[in-house]
């Protein structure tokens, strides 16, 4: 195999994508990291090194011609580009066009250009919780879980996953075969997580009290963005070296961030930033359910005159209030993944970034 590999990262200017680009640029087997992103933030060019060049190309994955041009000469694709919407503020058809139609374009382009390896960034939302709010407690990649996915965003990721898995083994134009694998993160935190920054500002406006919606006994995985990115880098490399092992596989993203009482992760991050932050109390499900329905009525009545700010969506409330956790070492067994950063290191790096972001 030619060691001077060209990697393409779709969505490489995004939260996870930028961290993937940074880590790829440090690998001696990568000669170029090509970023294809609708935002096309030139800032990622700073990751260029003496041996690895970072190229930024502006484009939307729904534009097949632009995508083809960006993928010329590429050896491996890490496909992270997506419309991420948990509050159901983006029309479903629009989110589907990006997350499903865009993924279809990436797969089609790989087959046409004979690019043999794709790592797809999915989400645990593609699995559940389902609309019945059935919990999953410390499942694995082999855990059987069925039912209609609750979040509209999750529905689109499940559709895209299906496309990626069905494309595995598909014939390329040069006669070779396409090898695909999937990584499913859950809640991802770390530097440049705008949700955390907005949460801090919201909490400060509420007298520094952080209330939470998760039940006290809830479990949910959170993973530091640097570790999620590292898993992508290792999986992409191993997929090209050991396609028979990784092709067609799905991997949950994990590290040693605590899963029990997952709301405490947010609290520790905000408290580390500002010791004046206090942990409040659990907001009962029925109370938020009632507020959501009252808000819907008010929004409907006022819609001809006034567009209200987005509020918590019922599907998101159901997701937050349902235990959905996994426990696995599959990525370690298949390609030697170990987190680059411990929980303490991840927490420190996130807090330092948050201090800088709020300060600015």
153 is catalytic: yes
CA distances to 85, 238, 330 from 336, in Å: 32, 9, 9
* Residue 157 and residue 81 in contact, taking contact as beta carbons nearer than 8 Å: no
**Rg of the Cα trace of the chain?**
21
Query: How far is 262 from 220, CA to CA, in rounded Å?
Result: 6
For residues 320-349, one letter each, b for 16 or more C-beta atoms within 10 angstroms of the residue's C-beta and e for the rest, the string is bbbbbbbebebbeebbebebbbebeebbeb
Q: Which of 7, 86, 117, 153 is an active site residue? A: 153
What are the residues facing 33 on neighbouring strands? 7, 54
Q: What does the block give as tokens for 301?
A: 């009545």
Tokens 């007298």 -> residue? 207
Closest CA to 239 of 321, 304, 183, 295: 183
- Concatenated DSSP letters for 242-283? -HHHHTT-EEE---SS--BTTHHHHHHHHHHH-TT-EEEEEP
Cβ neighbours of residue 270 under 8 Å, at least 6 residues apart? Answer: 196, 199, 200, 203, 210, 277, 354
Active-site positions read 153
């Amino acid at each position: 195999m030619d060691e001077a590999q060209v990697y393409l990262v779709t969505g490489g200017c995004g939260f996870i994508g930028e961290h993937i680009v940074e880590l790829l640029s440090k690998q001696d087997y990568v000669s170029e990291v090509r970023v294809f992103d609708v935002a096309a933030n030139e800032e990622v060019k700073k990751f260029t090194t003496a041996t690895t060049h970072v190229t930024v190309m502006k484009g939307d994955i729904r534009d097949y011609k632009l995508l083809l041009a960006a993928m010329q000469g590429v050896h491996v694709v890490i496909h992270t580009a997506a419309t991420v919407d948990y509050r159901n503020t983006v029309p479903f058809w629009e989110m589907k066009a990006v997350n499903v139609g865009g993924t279809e374009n990436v797969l089609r382009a790989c087959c046409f250009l004979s690019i043999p390896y794709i790592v797809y960034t999915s989400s645990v939302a593609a699995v559940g919780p389902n609309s019945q709010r059935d919990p999953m407690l410390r499942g694995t990649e082999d855990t059987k879980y069925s039912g209609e996915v609750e979040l509209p965003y999750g529905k689109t990721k499940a559709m895209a996953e299906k496309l990626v898995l069905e494309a595995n083994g598909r014939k390329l134009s040069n006669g070779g075969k396409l090898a695909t694998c999937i990584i499913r993160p859950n809640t991802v935190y770390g530097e440049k997580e705008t949700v955390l920054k907005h949460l801090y500002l919201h909490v400060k406006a509420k007298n520094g009290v952080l209330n939470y919606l998760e039940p006290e006994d809830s479990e949910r995985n959170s993973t530091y963005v640097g570790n999620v990115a590292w898993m992508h880098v290792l999986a992409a490399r191993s997929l090209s070296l050991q396609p028979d092992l990784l092709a067609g596989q799905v991997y949950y993203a994990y590290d040693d961030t605590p899963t029990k009482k997952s709301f405490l992760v947010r609290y520790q991050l905000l408290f580390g930033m500002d010791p004046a932050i206090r942990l409040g109390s659990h907001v009962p499900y029925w109370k938020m359910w009632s507020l959501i329905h009252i808000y819907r009525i008010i929004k409907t009545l006022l819609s001809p005159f006034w567009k209200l700010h987005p509020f918590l969506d019922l599907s998101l409330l159901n997701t937050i209030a349902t235990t959905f956790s996994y426990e696995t070492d599959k990525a370690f067994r298949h390609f030697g993944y170990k987190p680059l950063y411990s929980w303490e290191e991840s927490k420190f790096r996130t807090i330092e970034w948050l201090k800088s972001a709020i300060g600015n």
